[in-house]
């Protein structure tokens, strides 16, 4: 058990259930979010509220954040009411997907104050956050990773991917490029088969028994498409932001990624058409419309419900 209270900033779709897992594991938790209702829900479960990130860092030596964009991370950590202003903070853990540049910038700024930094983005979705089955991609000093490993294991399996700041972010960007590709590619493959007369459930079962299986075919299509839910709980805008960051990393490292470029373009077009707040499974609806075919059940409900916005992560 980590001694003393643990701070947590950002109680959105991922941060909320991860915070609850820490409470369930017996940690004393100090939380902050811009949405009072999110804080109230955690307080009702046993957490303590803080008015600002600075107050969190004034009361907790270890603080985790789960935030939506690099800009929000920079403000929460380095802003006038940011974590850097809190005198108790000694270890900062970023569970967000912020890209390498911000991870390095934040690590340098906090390092000047003697604060250790881990960038530890997670993968596995909202269900993984609830069930504690996430992949945690931690980058930072080995000793610090091992010290906080028991806490991070409340979220899932912890991988130490390297010592340098930003390596966790690079791992996450590579992962999310594959995840974004799987959604689009699986939607196109299943639309092709259904248009030609194949049953979508049979197609998904065959794909998952063969070499075409992927995260979309194994999880998202059975749970979200074949059931007619089309609601994975993550926004198309945030996934496209991750692809933006992946493109920046590829350019900086001089790695040609033509497939990633086409996938990125597909998601940018989807956001332009559907809106940044549409659920990522709205991409499947977009492919269905383009192919003039229905993959999910007809009784799933009106399209306006299927493309409803989902709650963003927030600070």
Q: What phi and psi values does residue 89 have, to the nearest 5 degrees?
A: -60, 130
HEC string for 194-220:
HHCCCCHHHHHHHHHHCCCCCHHHHHH
Q: Cα dist. 90→113, 119, 228 in Å?
A: 9, 14, 46
In a 3-state reduction of DSSP, which class is residue 35?
Answer: coil
Return the number of other C-beta atoms located less than 10 Å from residue 110's C-beta: 21
Distances (CA, A) of 183 to 158, 189, 233, 259: 25, 10, 14, 14
Q: What does residue 299 show for φ and ψ, rounded to 5 degrees?
A: -85, 15
Two structure tokens written together for 162: 């390297």
Burial class of residue 108 in the structure, from the number of CB atoms within 10 Å of its CB (0-12 exposed, 13-18 middle, 19+ buried): exposed
Angle of CA points 74, 154, 138, to nearest 5° = 45
Residues annotated as part of the active site? 172
Backbone angles phi, psi at 237, to 5 degrees: -65, -40
- Cα–Cα distance, 315 to 160 (Å, whole number): 26
């Amino acid at each position: 058990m980590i001694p003393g209270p643990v701070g947590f900033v950002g109680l959105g779709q991922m941060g909320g259930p991860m915070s609850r897992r820490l409470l369930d594991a017996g940690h004393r938790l100090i939380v902050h979010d811009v949405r009072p209702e999110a804080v109230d829900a955690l307080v009702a479960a046993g957490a303590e509220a803080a008015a600002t990130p600075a107050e969190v860092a004034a009361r907790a030596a270890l603080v985790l954040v789960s935030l939506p964009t690099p800009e929000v991370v920079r403000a929460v950590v380095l802003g006038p009411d940011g974590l850097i202003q809190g005198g108790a903070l000694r270890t900062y853990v970023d569970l967000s997907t912020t890209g390498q540049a911000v991870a390095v910038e934040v690590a340098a700024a906090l390092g000047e104050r003697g604060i250790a930094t881990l960038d530890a983005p997670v993968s596995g979705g909202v269900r993984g956050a609830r069930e504690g089955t996430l992949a945690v991609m931690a980058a930072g000093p080995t000793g610090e990773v091992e010290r906080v490993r028991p806490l991070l294991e409340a979220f899932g399996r912890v991988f130490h991917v390297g010592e340098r700041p930003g390596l966790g972010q690079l791992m996450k960007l590579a992962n999310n490029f594959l995840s974004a590709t799987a959604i689009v590619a699986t939607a196109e493959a299943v639309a092709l088969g259904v248009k030609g007369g194949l049953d979508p459930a049979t197609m998904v079962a065959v794909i998952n028994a063969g070499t075409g299986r992927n995260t979309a075919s194994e999880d998202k299509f059975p749970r979200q498409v074949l059931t007619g839910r089309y609601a994975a709980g993550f926004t198309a805008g945030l996934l496209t932001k991750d692809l933006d960051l992946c493109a920046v990393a590829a350019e900086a490292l001089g790695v040609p990624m033509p497939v990633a470029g086409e996938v990125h373009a597909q998601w940018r077009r989807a956001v332009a058409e559907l809106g940044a707040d549409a659920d990522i499974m709205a991409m499947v609806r977009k492919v269905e419309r383009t192919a003039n075919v229905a993959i999910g059940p007809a009784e799933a409900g009106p399209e306006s419900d299927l493309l409803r916005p989902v709650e963003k992560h927030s600070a």
